[in-house]
């Protein structure tokens, strides 16, 4: 159906790390459904892995470290020079210092907590603010969360409160931007073996638990996560905003 197509839509996919990253899964499916893309990666080291992927979807690749002053604005300016307007954003950026991540939330350092919030949460608000003058009337803005935002997941540590803040940002931004027709969502995938997830302690056990307990008895795929992003970017989801949508094989209903 035409409502599910992304033909003629243009979007920015932020935070592609490699072929195993969620952002790449989204970019692949969006490209397959007809979208024109601009992609970003965090630094020159990541660029060597992401550049061949960007070529596969005919997307300009821009280096953007969201911690660096002016970098997000530069990313948006470059994206607009290629796209002209923005119909959707996929924000897939998260980081926390390992010492804080592997310890108790009670023991987290102020510096580490603030950096994690800056990179993983506030960068979404900053990105949308910079893009806002260039958003189409029905633009769809997406970020990535996890079940640990809503429940105390073992070994997820400080990222739980950070993702909880991110989901709250999604709700407030949905309320603020809704009158202009813009929609905001958080996608909450189950555990997938990405480079970022490998920093979590005992992540293999977390994936095994998901396989054993989720109703579908398996992990979700990057393609499935990308398909959800396609739906949220398409006109088929035009009546939805402000939600956290789980794509985890049903694990969130039984955990």
Residues catalogued as catalytic: 146, 156
Residue 82's φ and ψ, nearest 5 degrees, are -90, -40
What whole-number distance in Å separates Cα of residue 181 and Cα of residue 126? 19
What whole-number distance in Å separates Cα of residue 158 and Cα of residue 21? 21
Direct distance between the N- and C-terminal alpha carbons of the chain, in angstroms, rounded to an integer? 35
The 3-class SS string of 133-197 reads: HHEEEEEEEEEECCHHHCCCCCCCCCHHHHHHHHHHHHHHHHHHHHHHCCEEEEEEECCCCCCCH
154 in Cβ contact with 191 (< 8 Å): no
Q: What is the per-residue DSSP string for 213-239? A: HSTT-S---HHHHHHHHHHHHSGGGTT
Q: How crowded is the C-beta side of 252, counted as CA atoms within 13 Å?
A: 18
Report the DSSP beta bridge partners of residue 62: 40
Which residue has 């905003």 as its token pair? 241
184 in Cβ contact with 174 (< 8 Å): yes
Tokens of 175: 């309320």
Tokens of 241: 């905003």
């Amino acid at each position: 159906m035409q409502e599910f197509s992304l033909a003629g839509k243009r979007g920015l996919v932020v935070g592609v790390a490699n072929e195993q990253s969620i952002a790449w899964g989204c970019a692949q499916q969006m490209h397959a459904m007809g979208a024109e893309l601009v992609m970003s990666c965090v630094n020159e080291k990541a660029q060597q892995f992401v550049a061949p992927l960007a070529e596969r979807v005919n997307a300009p690749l821009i280096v953007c470290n969201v911690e660096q002053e002016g970098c997000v604005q530069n990313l948006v300016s470059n994206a607009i020079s290629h796209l002209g307007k923005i119909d959707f954003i996929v924000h897939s950026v998260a980081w926390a210092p390992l010492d804080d991540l592997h310890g108790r939330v009670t023991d987290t350092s102020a510096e580490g907590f603030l950096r994690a919030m800056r990179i993983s949460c506030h960068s979404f608000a900053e990105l949308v603010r910079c893009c806002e003058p260039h958003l189409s009337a029905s633009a769809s803005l997406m970020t990535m969360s996890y079940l640990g935002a809503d429940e105390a997941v073992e070994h997820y540590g400080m990222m739980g409160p950070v993702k909880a803040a991110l989901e709250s940002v999604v709700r407030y931004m949905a309320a603020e931007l809704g009158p202009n027709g813009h929609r905001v969502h958080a996608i909450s995938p189950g555990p997938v073996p990405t480079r970022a997830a490998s920093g979590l302690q005992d992540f293999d056990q977390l994936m095994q638990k998901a396989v054993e307990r989720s109703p579908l008895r398996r992990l979700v795929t990057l393609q499935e996560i990308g398909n959800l992003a396609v739906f949220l970017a398409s006109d088929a989801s035009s009546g939805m905003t402000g939600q956290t949508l789980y794509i985890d094989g049903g694990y969130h209903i039984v955990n």
